[in-house]
Structures are given as structure tokens and as C-alpha cells.
């Protein structure tokens, strides 16, 4: 395991299931090449630290990543697998 606390062997959950304020690390994206490339261009790469800013049913899903805030569709958030950051466990 690296110093960053990222361990890809930890149990993954969909990003859509993470509570507001929680910090997680991206493990993988279960999608085609096009969506994976688009998310990578926005900074969503394996090991990236994400913080959930807003997660309300029927509303936008907002995350903070690398000094930016991104709004994702709920379907997109369900395809992103994350692991809980060791520091917030």
C-alpha cells in the first residue's frame, strides 16, 4: 500500500452511495472507453481523491476533485467504483 492510503484491494462501492462530506478514492470506472476517457480528462483517474459535495435523490451529484467541482449524472456516479479513504474510516 502506498503512503496515500489508496489500497485497490479494499471493498469498492459505487460513488452514488457515498455520503456528503465523505472522502473516497477512485478505483475504477465500469464504462466504455469513451466515458472513461472523458472522466479521465476531468481528473477522475484511479487513485484520485474525491469528496462528495452533494448527493440528493433527484438532484445533481457534485464532487470535489483536484481543486475543482464537478457535476455528474447519477448514472455516471453509479458506474464509478470508489474505496473509502483510510483517513476518513
pLDDT digits (tens, 9 = 90+) for 10-36: 789 999 999 999 999 999 999 999 999
Predicted confidence at residue 86, as pLDDT, reads 67
Q: What tens digit of pLDDT does each residue of 47-58 get? A: 999 999 999 888
How far is the C-alpha of 51 from the C-alpha of 18, rounded, in Å? Answer: 9
How far is the C-alpha of 34 from the C-alpha of 79, rounded, in Å? Answer: 13
Predicted confidence at residue 15, as pLDDT, reads 95
| Structural Rg of the chain based on CA atoms | 12
Q: How many CB atoms sit inside 10 A of residue 53's CB? A: 15
In a domain, 7, yes or no: no
In a domain, 2, yes or no: no
In a domain, 29, yes or no: yes
What's the predicted TM-score (pTM) here? Answer: 0.81
Burial of residue 9 (CB within 10 Å: 0-12, 13-18, 19+) is exposed
* 53: three-class secondary structure by DSSP: strand
In a domain, 22, yes or no: yes
In a domain, 3, yes or no: no
CATH number of the domain within which 70 lies: 2.30.30.90
In a domain, 59, yes or no: yes
State which residues form the domain around 48.
13-88
Q: How many domains does the chain fold into?
A: 1
Amino acid at each position: 500500500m502506498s503512503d496515500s492510503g489508496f489500497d485497490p484491494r479494499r471493498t469498492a462501492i459505487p460513488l452514488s452511495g457515498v455520503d456528503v462530506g465523505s472522502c473516497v478514492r477512485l478505483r475504477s470506472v465500469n464504462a466504455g472507453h469513451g466515458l472513461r476517457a472523458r472522466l479521465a480528462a476531468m481528473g477522475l483517474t484511479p487513485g484520485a481523491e474525491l469528496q462528495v459535495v452533494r448527493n440528493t435523490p433527484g438532484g445533481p451529484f457534485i464532487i470535489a476533485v483536484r481543486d475543482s467541482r464537478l457535476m455528474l449524472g447519477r448514472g455516471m456516479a453509479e458506474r464509478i467504483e470508489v474505496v473509502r479513504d483510510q483517513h476518513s474510516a
